[in-house]
Amino acid sequence: MLRWFIILWLLTSTLFSVNAQTFGEPSAIRSIYFGGGSARVDIRQANQLKLFLDSIPNIHDYFITVHSHTDNIGGKEYNERLSKMRSQSVIDLMLKLEKIKKEMIEVRDFGLYNPVYDNSTWEGRMKNRRVDVILWLVI
């Protein structure tokens, strides 16, 4: 888990021009996992996302980045589209819960690029099929 967090932190720190005076370290991260080729958030994942968001006091004090990922099966264009569909599914769910405003969210769709886990294994591909919801406390 620590390895994953370090990789994610390095990835976000290099991709975003986040001003250190505006945001600190990520405050909380929740991953939503998907089946192969699916952009549907199942009921279990939806409930876990709701519990996660409910557990954050003063949620409006946070900026949210949504990072979507896929495994490497299906090619570049397919995975870019799937990645966008996954991030949109998670954003739609967060907006439906009426706890988050759209202006609080920034999206990064990685598709098959920048995998955290090994795509040569079934377990790695399964873990790469996800959307990470990352909360940043606005200082």
Provide the pLDDT for residue 10: 44
Give the distance, in angstroms, between the CA of residue 70 and the centroid of all CA atoms in the same chain.
Answer: 11
In 3D, which of 99, 107, 104 has the Cα closest to residue 51?
Answer: 99
Instruction: Express each pLDDT in 95-115 by its tens digit.
Output: 998 778 899 999 999 999 989
Instruction: Express each pLDDT in 2-42 by its tens digit.
Output: 444 444 444 444 444 343 335 667 889 999 999 999 999 99
Name the domain count of the chain: 1
Task: Evaluate whether residue 67 is within a structural domain.
Answer: yes
Structural domain boundaries, residue 113: 22-138
Percentage of the chain beyond pLDDT 70 is: 83
- Predicted structure pTM score: 0.80
Task: Evaluate whether residue 26 is within a structural domain.
Answer: yes
Task: Evaluate whether residue 104 is within a structural domain.
Answer: yes
